Amino acid sequence: MFKELTPPAWLPELNRWVQRLGPRYALLLFCALVLLMALALSQLLVSLLGYGDRTVAAICAGMAALGVGSLLGAMFLSLHAQLEQSLQQLKRCSDMDALTGVVNRRAFLNLIEREWALARRYETTCALVLLDVDHFKSVNDSFGHRCGDMLLRQIAEASSETLRQGDVLSRFGGGEFMLFLPHTDPLGALDVAERIRERVEGLDFCWNGQCIPVSVSLGVAALQADHGELDQFVNAAELALQAAKESGRNCVRAGDAASSNRPSRPGRPAELKR
Ligand SMILES: Nc1nc2c(ncn2[C@@H]2O[C@H](COP(=O)(O)OP(=O)(O)OP(=O)(O)O)[C@@H](O)[C@H]2O)c(=O)[nH]1
């Protein structure tokens, strides 16, 4: 059994103070405190002993305190900096999908909850694209999980390459990825989804010398006024993905808002049918 490691209760409080003051001021304050304590102790000692020069005692105590204080303070600050760095690394890792290096589902849902609330409040556009690898199970079954893993990594890489700054790609489940597109209208989201579909279709994916055709199905949902809950927004993307799968896969389908904004052209229905 692993024993849970709990830091002493004063450590987070101390850390908060160091962050509030800034490392340099925290070090100065620490040295000043040590100096004051040393001076007080030296004077107390002279009083208790009943002999000795108070000035000499104060000078000696002061020099010793400054030396020890700055050494301890510098050690503490360097430990503090390392701790901060490790915490940041840990946070990055805990938000990441270990296999593909993209954001994991938990971190993604936290992030879009914030973005979704902001988009609703300021009435800006945003969209979700849910991507599912077609017949992923049979890739795993026929070529093994290592092959499936490599396919997931390549799809994550290919999808990432089409994104702008601010777009967030996450691994949403086994063979599913979800994309959040801030400040993106329905047409823009459809275009992104279609670009990803084309890119994945064009991948030269080979395993042990055998080339395997790969494709993805994508569902697009643009934020609508009636998405009063985040779940409704996510569900809309899931429904659109379901429609893409039911249409034969390797295609993009959109929820209502996205499809109704796509200008209809003869021979090209709203949902980028293929
Ligand atoms: N290689 C690999 N496979 C995984 C991983 N996580 C889940 N899977 C597999 O993903 C498969 C499920 O994917 P699905 O998307 O349900 O299967 P599918 O064949 O694509 O079915 P449809 O979604 O209906 O097209 C199962 O075989 C799981 O074992 C993973 O990290 N690596």
Q: Which CATH architecture has domain 105-261?
A: 2-Layer Sandwich (3.30)
Looking at residue 74, its amino acid is A
pLDDT band at 259 (very low <50, low <70, confident <90, very high): low
Q: Is 135 in the pocket of ligand 1 (CB under 6 A)?
A: yes
pLDDT in tens, 93-135: 889 999 999 999 999 999 999 999 999 899 999 999 999 999 9
pLDDT in tens, 241-250: 999 999 999 9
Six-digit token string for 271: 């949902």
Q: Is 219 in the pocket of ligand 1 (CB under 6 A)?
A: no
Name residue 211's beta-bridge partners: 206
Q: Is 133 in the pocket of ligand 1 (CB under 6 A)?
A: yes
- Per-residue model confidence (pLDDT) at position 6: 67
Give the containing element (helix H, strand E) for 234.
helix 230-246
Residues 185, 223: Cα–Cα separation, whole Å = 9
- Per-residue model confidence (pLDDT) at position 1: 42
- Per-residue model confidence (pLDDT) at position 210: 94
In angstroms, how far is the first alpha carbon of the chain from the final one?
A: 54
206-207 and 168-171 strand pairing = unpaired
How many angstroms separate the alpha carbon of residue 174 from the centre of ligand 1?
5
pLDDT in tens, 51-95: 888 898 888 888 888 888 888 878 877 887 888 888 888 887 889
Atom of ligand 1 nearest to the CA of 139: 19
For the chain, give every domain's residue range: 10-94, 105-261
Q: Is 96 in the pocket of ligand 1 (CB under 6 A)?
A: no
Residues 240, 251: Cα–Cα separation, whole Å = 11
ipTM score here? 0.92
